[in-house]
Structure 1
Amino acid sequence: MKRISASSLGILQGSRVLFSDFATDGVMWTGNGDRESRFHVAFPEPFRAPPAVMVGISLWDMDHRTNMRADLTAENITETGFQLVFRTWGDTRIARIRADWTALGPLRDEDDWDID
């Protein structure tokens, strides 16, 4: 469990279309097997420690004739950002995906001291 002082809690939210492969015959739409899309999210100001990041699919446009397989996760979370990662596999055909994210973590406070 992370304990965070309420006076220094930062909350950031964002949304990102990770790809729109049906328009360009991209690999998520035309391919088979393991496929992955990554997007680096940079926070406008750093957290004091790596935040908790929650991700979710807010737009899911897939071919109804194939199996629907999706894995969305946040990886490599640091104080300054993270990787938003979408994966699929098998015969799944994905036209486009939009992912939303929320980061919650401690912020520096004006009363914080740096002691060398």
Structure 2
Amino acid sequence: MNSSSVPWKVLSSNVGVGILTEGWTLDVVYPDFAEPRQFVYEVVFDSPFSAVPVVHLGLTGFDMDRRESSRLTLKAANLTEFGFQAVISTWDVSRLFSVEFHWLAIGA
């Protein structure tokens, strides 16, 4: 029985984004606007995978206005062999000044 095995490939990085990042608006609250607000960060892998990898995100830090409740989500979206989008969201009157996260991609 012949079988060909493909070695696993693992890529990872730490990311920090916030008010000094172009396009960041999660620190701005609009009166009477409780809808979710989001910032999308494009992650491009240093080298592509042969198929879409599994991606894990871990929140490692954030800076929010302490006068309101802390509301924050971090999700991976639009995964491809070449990268993905990290979607950071907040809502209601939460003001988010920065987010730090770690990502890990595992595949072949």
- TM-score, normalising length from structure 1? 0.76
Deviations 1:30-57 (A, max 9, x none): 3243211111111111111100000011
Runs of 4+ in 1 over 2 A off after TM superposition: none
Aligned length: 97
Deviations 1:92-115 (A, max 9, x none): 111111121000001xxxxxxxxx
RMSD, aligned CA: 1.6
Higher helix proportion (structure 1 or 2): 1
Say whether 1:50 aligns with 2:49: no
Q: For structure 1, which runs of at least 5 residues remain unmatched after alignment? A: 107-116
Q: Percent identity?
A: 32
Q: For structure 2, which runs of at least 5 residues remain unmatched after alignment? A: none
Say whether 1:80 aligns with 2:82: yes
CA contact (8 A) 2:25 2:39 kept: no
